[in-house]
C-alpha cells in the first residue's frame, strides 16, 4: 500500500509533494523519497523511517525551485525497508527517476537480462528493474512514451508508477495495471497519485485511470494513451465531493469497511507471482530450502491464531502433516519438547506481537527451525525467523483485523498445496481445480460483497438488541466461527462465543433461549447433516438461528443467508467477509467506534 504523488504546475513542487505524502501516511510506510529536475540535473532525496527524516534532508541548505516532481512512501515488499531500497529509483545513467506500487512478478528474469546487457543494480527492489528496463527501451526507441510501452509489454504483474526524465523537465509519465492510480486536473497544474487525498487540497476534478492506460502530462495539458498501442484514449473528468477524511477511506464510512472490500485485491496480490499458470506449480522460493515438515507447530495470537486453526484442517488433509496449534502466550511458559523434522510456524499481521516473539526466542534456543508468516517486511518476526513468507496485504488501519486474515488464509492454502506437491500427494486434477477456483475467486467475491453487506445490515439490525451470541461451525468452519465471535465482541461489545457445533450439547446449550441467538456456518458439504441435527436441538429450545450457508442446503431457520459457492476449502473466503460484515453492520447500527474499539490496540507489543 505504498503512496505515489506526482506534480507538474506553477507552485514550488517540493512542498506540494511533501504535503501529498503526508496525506497518504494513513496507508502505512517504512521509507519515503522524492525526485525532481532542476538546473538540468536530477535531484534525489530518500530516507528510511517517517517523513520527518526526509524533510530533515530537504532542509539541509538546498534552495529548491523546481515546479514538477515525484514522491513516494514505501511499504516494503522486495528488499528491506532502508534508504537504498526507498523510492524513487534511478536508471543506470541517472537520467530517469521512477516511483512504483505493485509487484513485478518476473523481475528476476528481467534483471538477469539487463545485467547481461551491462546494467548494474544498487537495490534489492523490483522497481529499479522497471526503471532500468524503460531506460533500456529508451536507448532502442528514442522516445520515452514508446520505451514505456515496450517495457510494459515485457512485464508480468501489477504496477502503478510515475516517471520523470532529466531531459524533459516538467513532463511526467504514469501508468497502471491492477494497482490504483488517479489523475487530478487543476488550474495550471496537474497531479497523479495513488489516492485522492494526495491532491485534494488543490483540486477535486479527477480522472480514474484504468488498467493498461498511460498518462503523459505537464502543467498545462495531459493525454491518456493505451499503454500497448499508444493510441489516445478519451477520458471524462469527474468531480468528487469528498472531504479529506472521506477520501482517505476511499469514500467508505470506515477503514474497516474499506479493508473488507479490499479482500478481492488482497487475494490477487497474494497469488501474484506464486502460481505458474502453465504448469500449475506453486512458487514459494522463500522456503525452497526448507523440507516439508514431519510435524508442524503453529504459534499465534487472536485472529492469527484462528488462521492457524484453519491451517490445521488444510495441512492435515491435503499435505498429511500433523499440526499442533497453540496460543503464543501459553506456549512461551511451558516446557518445549524438541522433535525431529518439526517446523514451528508463527503467524502475525504486524510481525511485532510480543508473545509470538517470545515464543520464537524459545524455539530458537532449542535449535528448532522457525517459519514466519507476517505482513510487514523488516518487522521483528521477519528478522528473527529462519524463513519468512510475507502476506502482502498492505497496512491495516482499522484495529479489527479483516483483510490481514484473508491474506493469511491465502498463503496457508498455497503452503498446503506446495507441501502436498513436494510430498507427492497432490494429483494434477486437484491442483488444476484448486488453482482455477482461486483465479476466479477475487472476481466472484468482488461482485458479491455489496449484496453481502446489504444482508449483513438487515440481519445485524434485527439482532442488535441481543446481549449474547453463539457462533457455530464444524470442520474448517469451526475456526471461522471463533473469528466471527471475536469480531462481534471486538467492535459491537456484544458477548459472543464460538463453538464447534457438536460441543453445544456438552454444556453450552443450557444457555439457549429466545433471546440468545445462534449464527451457524452451515454450507451444503459432507458435514451439513450433523450441523442440521445441532440446529434442531437449538430450535427445540426456542433459540433463534441465522444460517450462513449456500444454495441447496435446505435449512429451515429464522434467517437464511446464502453466499456464493466455489471449490472446496475456498468457500471459506465467502464465509469470512460475511462474518466480518455482520459484526461491522451490527456495530455501526449500535453507534460504536468501529475503527478504534475501546481498550484495544492494533499491535500487542507488550505482554
Per-residue DSSP letters for 46-94?
A: EEESSHHHHHHHHTSS-----SEEEEEEE--SSS-SSTTTPSPEE-TTS
Please tell me whether residue 548 adopts helix, strand or coil conformation. strand
Peptide bond into 11 cis (omega under 30): no
The DSSP symbol for 393 reads -
Cα–Cα distances (Å) from 354 to 329, 349, 434, in that order, read 9, 12, 35
Q: How far apart are CA 407 and CA 1, in angstroms?
A: 14
Asked if residues 70 and 34 have their Cβ atoms less than 8 Å apart, the reply is: yes
Which is nearest to 566 in space by CA: 446, 474, 450, 438?
438
Segment 587-590 long-range contacts (CB within 8 Å, at least 24 positions apart):
587/491, 587/492, 588/253, 588/254, 588/460, 589/457, 589/460, 589/461, 589/464, 590/464, 590/492, 590/493
The alpha-helical segments, DSSP class H, found in 315-427 are 328-331, 354-365, 380-384, 403-422
Q: How far apart are CA 572 and CA 263, in angstroms?
A: 13
Residue 208 · residue 251 · CB < 8 Å? no
Sheet of 222-226, strand order: 89-90, 96-101, 159-165, 172-177, 213-217, 222-226
293: which DSSP letter? P
**165 phi, psi to nearest 5 deg:** -130, 140
- Residue 230 CA, chain-centre distance (Å), reads 31
Q: How far apart are CA 459 and CA 581, in angstroms?
A: 10
Rounded distance between C-alpha atoms, residue 563 and residue 581, angstroms: 12
Could you give the residue numbers annotated as active site?
Answer: 2, 602
What phi, psi does 259 have (nearest 5°)?
Answer: -75, -30
What sign does the dihedral 436-438-439-445 (CA atoms) show?
positive
Q: What are the backbone angles phi and psi of residue 167, rounded to the nearest 5°?
A: -90, -5
Task: Tell me whether strands 182-185 and 190-193 are parallel, antiparallel or unpaired.
Answer: antiparallel
Q: Grid cell 495531459 — which residue?
A: 222
Cβ contact 155:137 at 8 Å: no
- Distance (Å, rounded) from C-alpha 158 to C-alpha 256? 24
Strand order in the sheet with 323-327: 323-327, 295-300, 342-348, 370-374, 387-390
Residues 6+ apart with CB under 8 A from 380: 351, 352, 357
Integer Cα distance of 343 and 78 in angstroms: 25
Amino acid at each position: 500500500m505504498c503512496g505515489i504523488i506526482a506534480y507538474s504546475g506553477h507552485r514550488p513542487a517540493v512542498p506540494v509533494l511533501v504535503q501529498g505524502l503526508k496525506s497518504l501516511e494513513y496507508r502505512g510506510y517504512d521509507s519515503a523519497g522524492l525526485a525532481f529536475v532542476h538546473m538540468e540535473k536530477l535531484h534525489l532525496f530518500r530516507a528510511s523511517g517517517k517523513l520527518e527524516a526526509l524533510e530533515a534532508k530537504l532542509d539541509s541548505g538546498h534552495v529548491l525551485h523546481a515546479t514538477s516532481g515525484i514522491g513516494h512512501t514505501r511499504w516494503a515488499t522486495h528488499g528491506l525497508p532502508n534508504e537504498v531500497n526507498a523510492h524513487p529509483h534511478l536508471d543506470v545513467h541517472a537520467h530517469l527517476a521512477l516511483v512504483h506500487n505493485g509487484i513485478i512478478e518476473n523481475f528476476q528474469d528481467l534483471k538477469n537480462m539487463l545485467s547481461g546487457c551491462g546494467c548494474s543494480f544498487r537495490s534489492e527492489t523490483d522497481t529499479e528493474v522497471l526503471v532500468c528496463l524503460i531506460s533500456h527501451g529508451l536507448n532502442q526507441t528514442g522516445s520515452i512514451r514508446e520505451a514505456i510501452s515496450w517495457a510494459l509489454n515485457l512485464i508480468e504483474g501489477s504496477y502503478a508508477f510515475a516517471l520523470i526524465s532529466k531531459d524533459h523537465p516538467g513532463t511526467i509519465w504514469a501508468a497502471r495495471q491492477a494497482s490504483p492510480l488517479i489523475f487530478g486536473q487543476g488550474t495550471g497544474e496537474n497531479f497523479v497519485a495513488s489516492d485522492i487525498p494526495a491532491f485534494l487540497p488543490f483540486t477535486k476534478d479527477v480522472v480514474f485511470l484504468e488498467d493498461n492506460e498511460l498518462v503523459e502530462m505537464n502543467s498545462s495539458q495531459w493525454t491518456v494513451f493505451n499503454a500497448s498501442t499508444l493510441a489516445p484514449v478519451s477520458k471524462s473528468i469527474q468531480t468528487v465531493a469528498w472531504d479529506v477524511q472521506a477520501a482517505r477511506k476511499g469514500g467508505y464510512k470506515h477503514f474497516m469497511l474499506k479493508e473488507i472490500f479490499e479482500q478481492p485485491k488482497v487475494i490477487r496480490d497474494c497469488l501474484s507471482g506464486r502460481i505458474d499458470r502453465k504448469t500449475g506449480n506453486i512458487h514459494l522460493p522463500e522456503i525452497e530450502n526448507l523440507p516439508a515438515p514431519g510435524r508442524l507447530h503453529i504459534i499465534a495470537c487472536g485472529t492469527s491464531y484462528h488462521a492457524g486453526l484453519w491451517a490445521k484442517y488444510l495441512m492435515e488433509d491435503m499435505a498429511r502433516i500433523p499440526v499442533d496449534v497453540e496460543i503464543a502466550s501459553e506456549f512461551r511458559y511451558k516446557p518445549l519438547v524438541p522433535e525431529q523434522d518439526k517446523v514451528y510456524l508463527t503467524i502475525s499481521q504486524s510481525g511485532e506481537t510480543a508473545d509470538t516473539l517470545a515464543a520464537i526466542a524459545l524455539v530458537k534456543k532449542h535449535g528448532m527451525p522457525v517459519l514466519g508468516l507476517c505482513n510487514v517486511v523488516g518487522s521483528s518476526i521477519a528478522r528473527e525467523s529462519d524463513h519468512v513468507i510475507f502476506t502482502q496485504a498492505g497496512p491495516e488501519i482499522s484495529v479489527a483485523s479483516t483483510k490481514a486474515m484473508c491474506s493469511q488464509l491465502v498463503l496457508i492454502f498455497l503452503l498446503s498445496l506446495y507441501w502436498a506437491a513436494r510430498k507427492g500427494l497432490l494429483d494434477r486434477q486437484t491442483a488444476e481445480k484448486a488453482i482455477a477456483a482461486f483465479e476466479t475467486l477475487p472476481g466472484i467475491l468482488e461482485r458479491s460483497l455489496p449484496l453481502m453487506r446489504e444482508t449483513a445490515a438487515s440481519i445485524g439490525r434485527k439482532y442488535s438488541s441481543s446481549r449474547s451470541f453463539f457462533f457455530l461451525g464444524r470442520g474448517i468452519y469451526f475456526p471461522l466461527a471463533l473469528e466471527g465471535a471475536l469480531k462481534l465482541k471486538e467492535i459491537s461489545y456484544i458477548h459472543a462465543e464460538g463453538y464447534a457445533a457438536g460441543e453445544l450439547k456438552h454444556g453450552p446449550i443450557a444457555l439457549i433461549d429466545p433471546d440468545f441467538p445462534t449464527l451457524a456456518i452451515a454450507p451444503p458439504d459432507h458435514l451439513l447433516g450433523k450441523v442440521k441435527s445441532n440446529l434442531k436441538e437449538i430450535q427445540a429450545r426456542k433459540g433463534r438461528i441465522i444460517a450462513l450457508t449456500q444454495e441447496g442446503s435446505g435449512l429451515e431457520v429464522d434467517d437464511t443467508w446464502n453466499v456464493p459457492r466455489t471449490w472446496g476449502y475456498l468457500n471459506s473466503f465467502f464465509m469470512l467477509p460475511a462474518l466480518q460484515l455482520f459484526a461491522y453492520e451490527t456495530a455501526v447500527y449500535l453507534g460504536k467506534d468501529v475503527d478504534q474499539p475501546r481498550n484495544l490496540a492494533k499491535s500487542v507489543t507488550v505482554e
